[in-house]
Amino acid sequence: MKIRRFLQAAALAFAFDPSSAGTDAPAFTRRWSEQHYGSASADAVAAVHTEFEELSADAMSDYAVVIAVQNLADAMREIALRGSFNFSSLHASAAATQKSAAATTEKWRQLSQKAEQVLASLPPRVQQTFVSHSLAQQYLLGNGTAALERLATAALAVSVEAAVSAVEQAAATMEEGCDALRLGEGNGHWRGYFAHDRLDDFQHSRRLLLQLVAVLGNRTVRPTRPICSCTGGVHNCSGSIPYANCPDMFSNQLPPAYSGDAYPLLYRSADPSLNFDGVVRGGCTGACRTTPSGGIMTIHGGVASVWLALPRGVVSSATIRYTLDGSTPAPSSARYASPLPLRGNVTVAARAFGLPAGVATPPSVFKYFSL
């Protein structure tokens, strides 16, 4: 679950001055809501946030939900691969999961309806803030929990057809969870922010559900379960499989069907409003550290260097070209081959060349500062 802004504000206020922050949580929520949404909307927003926190405390987190989905999907698949449709060994836990998830899903639905009414009453300038920090996360948790409930229903089904239908519904609901992430990004400069999100893992869960559908329909072929999700980025765990091996997930993003509004974004879009960075990733080694924003700060003493890389499996023939003066890299710019020595303040702009036709990527920019 992403940390919500008013929770961050509460933690920081208490850290800097516990006496002024106080211990009255509802009062702080009301005060924060007024600061961000205005006095006319403060009570309604605070009520939603308070109910949101109370429900979050009792409900499964987004990560717990996807782990539960993945574990149940794996257990069902292993049974089916043995040539059996008898999920009786899962019935007790599936029945309990179905009941609990259905009740929680209904609570998320009711809260979302209340939040939608509040959203409609807010001034346009603060609506996206409310969507990103409240409503979208309700949709995410609600859809994730609903997917778990439908998968548990599949485990209790009395026919293959009913099981397949329920798993397909679970997969579609997981996709709606991804839509919630997209909604939380908005249409501004944060568009595409969750394109490579590894914490929620909704896309990977959806892939496992689609594999389960395939196994239930044809138990003679054993599909390969990816170790991680199909992003293969440099920041993901080892063993990720390349994009090209995930056509069921990314077919709408591969040429010639590439679309700038595809989600999640496999490559960066030609429209800068759909991206938060370029496809090139960067970092440093030696006497330096990476800041949370992606910039680099050198540490006194020692040697520092900058590395650049493309996500594994993007295009093996693609090259990275870079500049050190902040200008946009061109086909004639220096080609990256090995880590660059880091000396003083410098801006490294990097861009990938040799991507498939129709796939454009803006430059990635990394700023380095001497302390």
Residue by residue, DSSP assigns 124-167 as: HHHHHHHIIIIIHHHHHHHHHHHHHHHHHHHHT-SSHHHHHHHH
Cα gap 72→85, rounded to integer Å: 14
Q: Is the pLDDT of residue 100 over 90?
A: yes
Lowest-confidence segment of 134-138, 188-192, 324-328, 360-364 by average pLDDT: 188-192
pLDDT digits (tens, 9 = 90+) for 73-98: 989 988 888 877 889 999 999 999 99
Cβ(199)–Cβ(144) under 8 Å?
no
Between 115-124, 170-179, 226-235, 275-284, the lowest mean confidence (pLDDT) is in 226-235
- Residue 296 to residue 284: CA distance in whole angstroms: 7
Measured CA to CA, the distance from residue 331 to residue 323 in angstroms comes to: 11
Q: What is the pLDDT of residue 197?
A: 55
Task: State the average pLDDT over residues 283-289.
Answer: 77
pLDDT over 70 at 128, yes or no? yes
pLDDT band, very low/low/confident/very high, at 346 (cuts 50, 70, 90): confident
- pTM of this prediction? 0.63
Q: What is the pLDDT of residue 144?
A: 93
Q: Which of helix, strand or coil describes residue 232?
A: coil
Percentage of the chain exceeding pLDDT 70: 65
Cα–Cα distance for residue pair 127/124, rounded to 1 Å: 5
| pLDDT tens track for 150-193 | 999 999 998 889 999 999 999 888 878 877 877 887 766 666 56
Per-residue confidence (pLDDT) for residue 293, from 0 to 100: 42
Which of the given ranges, 19-28, 37-46, 171-180, has the highest pLDDT on average?
A: 37-46
% of the chain at pLDDT higher than 90: 28
pLDDT higher than threshold 60 for residue 317: yes
What would the mean pLDDT of 256-273 be, rounded to a whole number? 43
SS3 239: coil
Q: Which two tokens stand for residue 1?
A: 């679950």
pLDDT of residue 209: 86
pLDDT greater than 80 at residue 70: yes
Average pLDDT, the chain: 75
The answer on pLDDT for 123 being more than 60 is yes
Q: With cut-offs at 50, 70 and 90, classify the pLDDT of residue 360.
A: low
Give me the amino acid identity at 256.
P
The model's pLDDT over 202-253, given as tens digits with 9 standing for 90+, comes to: 877 887 787 788 888 765 545 544 434 444 333 333 444 444 444 444 444 4
Give the chain's domains with CATH numbers: 5-225 (1.20.58.2150), 274-369 (no CATH)
What are the backbone angles phi and psi of residue 349, rounded to the nearest 5°?
-110, 130
Residue 359, Cβ neighbours under 10 Å: how many? 20
Q: What is the pLDDT of residue 6?
A: 55
Burial class (CB in 10 A: 0-12, 13-18, 19+), 83: exposed
CA distances from 177 to 35, 55, 141, 164 (A): 30, 18, 8, 20
Residue at token pair 């509004």? 261
Residue with tokens 């509040």: 118
